[in-house]
Every structure is written in C-alpha cells, then in structure tokens.
Chain A
Amino acid sequence: MTTILQPDDAIIPGVSEPAKSRATRRVRGLSDRTIAWLFVAPTIALLLVINIFPLAWMIRLSFTSLNLSMSYLPLRFVGLDNFTDILTDEDVWFRLQTTAQFVIWSVALQVVVGFGLALLINRQFRGHSFWTTIILLPMMLSPAVVGNFWTLLLQPQIGPFNYLISLFTGVPPSSFSMTGQVSLAPWTIVLVDTWMWAPYVMLICLAGLRSIPDYIYEAAEVDRASAWRQFWSITLPMTVPFLMLAVLFRAIENFKMFDMVNLLTSGGPGSTTELVSITLKRAAFEKWRTGYSSALAIILFVTVFGAANVYVKALNKVKQR
C-alpha cells in the first residue's frame, strides 16, 4: 500500500513502523517546506543585505541632493533632477561614446584573436599544454598588475614597446607616447585589454570547438569537403553560441571596465580615455556627489541590463536554430 505522507498527517493507519516513526518526527518537528525555507533563508537574507537593500537605498538616494563632502547641508528631494542633469550633460554622452567605442573594438578584437588562438590550440602538437598555459597567463593576472606593467612597457623612453615599434617602422622610440597621445591612447587601452582577455575568449571557444563531434568532420571528409568549407559549414556555425556567450561576458565586463584603464591613463590625456565607469567613480568617491552618482549608476545598470537581456534573447534564438 502506498501512502503519500502529508506533513500534517497525525495518524497513518497501516503504515510500517519506520515510516510511522519518520512521519511522527516530521509532525513533531518541522515541515519540509519550513526546512526548505530554513536552508534558503540565509542566502536570501544575504542577498537582501548585500544586493537588494543597497540597490533600493541607491534608488532612493538618486532622487536626493546628497553630497557626502557637504553632509551638513540639508538633504533635499530633487525629483528627477539628477537624471535630467546626466542625460542633458554633453560630457556624459562623450563618456558613453568613449565607452561604447572601447567595448566594440576590444570585444571585436578579442573575439578574432581568441577564436584564432582556440583554433590553433585545438590541434594536437608538441608542447600543446605548455603553450596553452602561456597563453592563459595574462587573464590570470590582476588588472592592477597589468595596468602597472603595461605603463612601464609603454613608457616612451625606457619601455620596450616603443623600441619594438621603432625596430619595424624606423620611428624614433621617444617620438610617440602610446598612453599620452590623443590619437594613440584609445587604441592602447583596447590593445592591453585584448592582450589580457583574448585568452578568456579562447577558453570559451575551445569549449565550443571540443563540443563538436568528430563524426561530423569525418562525414564532411567523406564528402570531400575542403578545410575551408568545413570551417564555414561546421566549425563556425557550431561555435557561434559560444562566441556569442563570450561576447556577452566580455561586453558586460568591458562596459564596467575601470581598474586597468585607470592605471594606464587615468582617463587621459585630458578625457580621451575616460570611460563612464571612471566618471562614475570620480563623481561618487572623489567629488562625493552621492545623489548624482547614484542616478548615473542606475542609468548604467538599466543600460547594461537592457542590452544584456536583448542579447540573451538573440542568443537563445541562435541556440534554437
């Protein structure tokens, strides 16, 4: 006889002794639902304290005039003034443009380089593991370390980078500054970011490449498909979802890029490489404009969240095909 035990069942006739004792324990103790809640509660509490409460607090602050360097001033409710200020500020739009250009170029380059590296590493050759480790090293470094040592590498007088360029082009090494020239600085941050994160894209692509069953290639070879044809008809289409995932991760990360760029250029020369995250940090923790920076953070959050959602929907459509 099968009996479905209900938490509130007090007496269950015809049930075996161990089952009866279990049921009694449940009745006397806690219900399954309660136990489930008990397990989940700490995580929910943590989420509320660490994520939800600060978010709600930030939304509240974004409607105020709070400036922490002048906390003696009365706190005023300013409605949508902070949002209007931001959205009508030419400088903020420039910073958003700078950020968009950085995201587009760096992610595009990382996908090309990362995918290329994945194709190379996917082949079996001598020293395969060694080269994989070497390629993965940059992404294991802290962005602070990367920012600092690239600053040295790019130093026009003593940095080897300029000497290397000089070797190939004949341009005197100290005649140009990668981080100090308006025309070069935006490309420099793209270059360094690509150097650091292309291996990450490579890893994701490698997972995609390894997931393609060998029999598909074997069938293609039976059909005498060329390597080029195999790439276009099998490799690329089957790794597209992985590439799209890499693009999503890298785009979100680069949209909030701060540390490496801050160390390399401090947003300079002038404001040439000032990404919106640097503007936000300056507004929040240097100018102490808490109300204004909360509004800016919300705008950025909504932008990234919205863009990511649209992208995820597109990704799902690709997967369904």
Chain B
Amino acid sequence: MRTFNWLRSSAATTVLGTALLGIFGGGEAAAQGKQLTLCWAAWDPANALVELGKDFTKQSGIEMKYEFVPWTSYADRFLNELNSHGKLCDLIIGDSQWIGGAAENKWYVKLNDFFDKEKISMDDFVPATVVGYSQWPKNSPNYWALPAMADAVGWTYRKDWFSRPEIQSAFKAKYGRDLAPPKTYDELKQIAEFFQGREIDGKKVYGAYIFTERGSEGITMGVTNVLYNYGFGYDNPKRPYQMQGVVNSPEAAKGLEFYKELYKCCTAPGMTNAYMQEGLDAFKSGQVAMQMNWFAFFPGLYKDPNVGGDRIGFFVNPAGPNGHFTQLGGQGISVVATSDRKDDALAYIKWFAQPAVQQKWWQLGGYSALKAVVDAPDFPKSAAFAPQFLESMGIVKDFWAEPSYAQLLLDMQKRVHDYVVADKGTAQQALDLLVKDWTKVFKEQGKQVASQ
C-alpha cells in the first residue's frame, strides 16, 4: 500500500511538474519572439548600451537581454560560440579583428541588402571604422557589421602634477623645455623618466603605464602604438602578405627596442602581465603620471572622484621618427547568422544607426562612429577627451583581420613578450621569428607569401 501511495504521489508530482513546465516554458517560448540577446564585452560602454537599449524596448516592445563577458575571455567565449554555430547571441558586438573570419565562415549576416533597403549609408560613418569594423575583404563594399563602438589607444596624464610649479621648474631645469603632454615618444620617455620614482604628496610614483599582458592581446595592442610610428608595417602594400623587411625592418626593430626601454625604465614594479584594468587601477590609485589605455575608459576616468575632472588630461598617442599612428580598437555590431530572430536583430541595427540614437550613445559614454555626431561643430567641446578622440580616429591602424587573426595575434604576443618582458634574444631576432611564424600561418591558409 505504501508503495502504491508513493507511486501515486510521484505520478501526481510528475503531472503537476509537467503542467507547470508547460505553463512557464510555454510562456517563455511566447516571449522569446520579443526578446533579443546582445553579446559584448563587460566594460563601461556596455553599461551605457544597456541604458540606451531601454529606448529600443520602449519603441519596439522587444526585450533586450545581454551577455557580457570580461575582456580576458571575451574572444575565447564568443569565438567558441560562433564556431559552434550556437544560438546564444542574436546580435554580437565583435572585435574588429574577427571580421575576416566571421565573413569567411558566414558567422555574420551580410548587411549590404539591408543597408540598401533601409538607406543606411556607410559614407555616413568615420572611414576608419567602416574599413576596420565592417568590411571584408578590406576596402571592398562588402559589409558585415555596422560600426558600433569607435575606439583607439590614447593616453591620460596627471594634469594636476604636470601643472605644479615645483615639478615644472624641476623638469625645465633637467630637460630645458616646459613640461607638457608629449608629442613624440622621445618626449614621452623623458617625462616618464622624470616622474619615475619621484615622490609626490608623500607617495612614490612611476612614469608610465603601458600594456604588457601575455595571455590575450595586451602587449600586441600596446607595442604596435610604438612600432607603427617607427616604421613597422604588416605587409608590403603593393605585395600583400610579403612581410620580410616590412615586419622586421631595422626601423621596426628600433621601435621594439624603444618599447622595451620604456618598459624597463619607467613602469611600476610588477607590471609584467598588465592590460586595461591594471592600467585603470594604477592611474586611479595615483601611481602613474601617464597611462596608455583605450578611449572607451576615458569617460569613466574623467568622472573618477580622485583623479578625474581637473586632475586628468588626455593626449593622442605620440608620434615616432617615421610616422604618427595609433592602434585601432572598437567593434561593429553584427547579426549572428544562426539567430532565429534575425528580423528583430536587424530592426535593432536600424534603430541603432539613427543619428538621434547615436548622439545619445555618445552622451551616455559610448563612442559613436557616425559622422553626424563626431563631425558636429560642438563635438570637440562635448567632452574633455573628444578632440583627442577625433584626432586619433584619423590616424588609426589595425592588426590583421584575417580569418587566422587569432594565430597571428598569439604569435606576436609570444615573440614580443619573450623579448620585452622575458629578455629573450634581440628585437631583430624577435621580429625575424615573427615573420617566420606569420609566413607559416599564411601558407597554411593557402596564401602566396613572397619572401622579398
């Protein structure tokens, strides 16, 4: 009898459970048509996007769900998702370097027809962002994303320290010029050396913060800011994939040596594996005079009660002996090809491309790439870092965006970190090995690689 009772109660529980699942599961299924999942990195601009997205929900009735992943696992997580044809994301704000792989592997929906239909013109966006975030192949009218978050590497400095009379006079006495935000990397190094180990307000401070992270993309995104300006290129513009003498030119080797000197002379102890967050921490805690970081973080830094406002200044990545460029960051927004809600996702992109929405995006802390926003006469005055952002977006260069970018990136991470942080070999050897690595990758990809 007891067994019978147990069976009866179990059956009842099962029936009840199934019914409840039906009710709630069915309800969720019904709501699913009106819900979009947007995938991106977990950082300050993502919070601004959540705020902005409320307007979209209000207008369209479509609920927005977000999957934000920390930068350190952002590429791993979402490339895995795209590779496995997962359905987690309907919309994805993918890194600029992913565009080649995403287009070739058909992970993203091609947006040309949609842009034509909705009269969204890529001419309305900052050219560097269109090439960097949307086009594949590069410089061809094939669009896979809408420029969503313009970004580049810039610098912050302690304006309050720079303006102190005693510091200014000490600097002038030592270097014979006024202490001001550097225009060249030589000037930057002098300033960094000047501040290194100096005591300010009873606290030992350090010269500069630069990227040195090993695991994902950090040191590459840092070192390229110097390399470009010393003469480094990815390949011969006239002979694609011909890297010999371009990647490992003597000028590029000098640039790499310079980055190492800067790392050795003027960074805080222990910064051997540091990227965006460590830079923010170092700057916010009053540890460094100058910080390399992405513009995306500057609105947050400007608002910081301890180092923001009048205490912080911004400058464009300094020039080198052979050019003036900066590393492109930022992302475009794409519709994931495996999404079941492509129409709703396209509706989001249509809404996001509107000038009024882009204007609000900038006001909330995102970086619009729409010309109507950034070319507006009052834009340079709209934020303390806006002029530097504008100038930077005019001089950006990006890493390879080939489908094999991840291999190319990890090879560079290894070679540069080995030389800069681990003191292995010479700069020339590091770049020679890099050419060897990259040649192998491109050959595996079936590309013709000319040696000279």
Contacts and interface: CB of A to CB of B under 8 A. Distances in A.
Tell whether A and B belong to one assembly.
Answer: yes
Interface of A: 65, 67-73, 155-157, 174-177, 179-182, 262, 265-272, 282, 285-289
B421 A180 contact: yes
Given A266-B214, A269-B421, A270-B424, A73 B446 contact: yes
B424 A174 contact: no
A270 B418 contact: yes
Best-buried of A65, A285, A287 by chain B (most CB within 10 Å): A287
Given A268-B272, A271-B414, 16 more contacts: A65-B444, A68-B83, A70-B104, A70-B403, A73-B445, A155-B270, A156-B269, A174-B270, A179-B270, A266-B214, A268-B273, A268-B422, A269-B421, A270-B422, A282-B410, A286-B75
Interface in B259-279: 268-273
B429 to A, nearest CB: 13
B106 interface: yes
Given A65-B444, A268-B417, A287 B410 contact: yes
B160 interface: no
Contacts of B418: 270-271
B406 interface: yes
Contacts of A181: 272
A31 B214 CA distance: 62
B94 interface: no
Nearest to B272: A180
Best-buried of B214, B271, B405, B446 by chain A (most CB within 10 Å): B214
B72 to A, nearest CB: 9
Given A73-B446, A288-B83, A266 B270 contact: no
Contacts of A174: 269-270
Contact of A157 (B79, B269, B407): B269
A287 B406 CA distance: 5
Interface in B56-111: 75-76, 79-80, 83, 101, 104-106
Contacts of B287: 157
- Sort chain B's interface into a size bin: 35 or more
12 contacts: A72-B105, A72-B106, A157-B268, A157-B287, A180-B271, A268-B421, A268-B422, A270-B419, A272-B422, A285-B76, A285-B80, A288-B83
Given A69-B83, A180-B272, A271-B414, A286 B214 contact: no
Contacts of B446: 73
Interface in B374-419: 403-407, 410, 414, 417-419
Contact of B273 (A71, A73, A265, A286): A265
Contact of B404 (A65, A70, A177, A271): A70
A70 B402 CA distance: 10
A181 B76 CA distance: 27
Contacts of A269: 214, 272-273, 417, 421-422
A68 to B, nearest CB: 5
A275 B357 CA distance: 48
A268 B418 CA distance: 8
Best-buried of A69, A73, A268, A289 by chain B (most CB within 10 Å): A69
A289 B408 CA distance: 12
A285 B214 CA distance: 16
Contacts of B75: 286
Contact of A286 (B76, B213, B445): B76
Given A72-B104, A269-B422, A282-B410, A67 B417 contact: no
A182 B272 CA distance: 11
Nearest to A266: B215
Interface of B: 75-76, 79-80, 83, 101, 104-106, 213-215, 268-273, 287, 403-407, 410, 414, 417-419, 421-424, 444-446
A127 B287 CA distance: 45
Contact of B214 (A65, A69, A267, A287): A267
Q: Is the interface of A mostly helix, strand, loop or mixed?
A: loop
B422 to A, nearest CB: 3
A308 to B, nearest CB: 30
B254 to A, nearest CB: 20
A286 B76 CA distance: 6
A286 B445 CA distance: 16
Contact of A70 (B213, B214, B271, B445): B445
Contacts of B79: 69, 288
Contacts of A179: 270, 272-273
A288 B105 CA distance: 13
A70 B79 CA distance: 12
A179 B422 CA distance: 11
Contacts of A180: 270-273, 421
Nearest to A178: B270
Given A269-B272, A269-B417, A70 B101 contact: yes
Contact of A71 (B80, B83, B271): B83
B416 to A, nearest CB: 9
B301 to A, nearest CB: 20
Closest 9 CB pairs of A and B: A270-B422, A180-B272, A270-B418, A156-B270, A266-B215, A268-B214, A174-B269, A269-B422, A156-B269
Contact of A177 (B272, B419, B422): B272
Contacts of B405: 69
Contacts of B445: 70, 73
A136 B74 CA distance: 35
A270 B106 contact: no
A266 B213 contact: yes
A174 to B, nearest CB: 4
A172 to B, nearest CB: 9
Contacts of A265: 214, 273
A148 B200 CA distance: 31
A289 B407 contact: yes
Nearest to A159: B270
Nearest to B424: A270
Nearest to B75: A286
A81 B400 CA distance: 27
Nearest to B425: A270
A152 to B, nearest CB: 11
Nearest to A155: B270
Contacts of B269: 156-157, 174-177
A286 B410 contact: yes
Given A69-B101, A70-B105, A182 B406 contact: no
A181 B419 CA distance: 13
Contacts of B403: 69-70, 72
A157 B417 CA distance: 22
Contacts of A262: 215
A289 B269 CA distance: 36
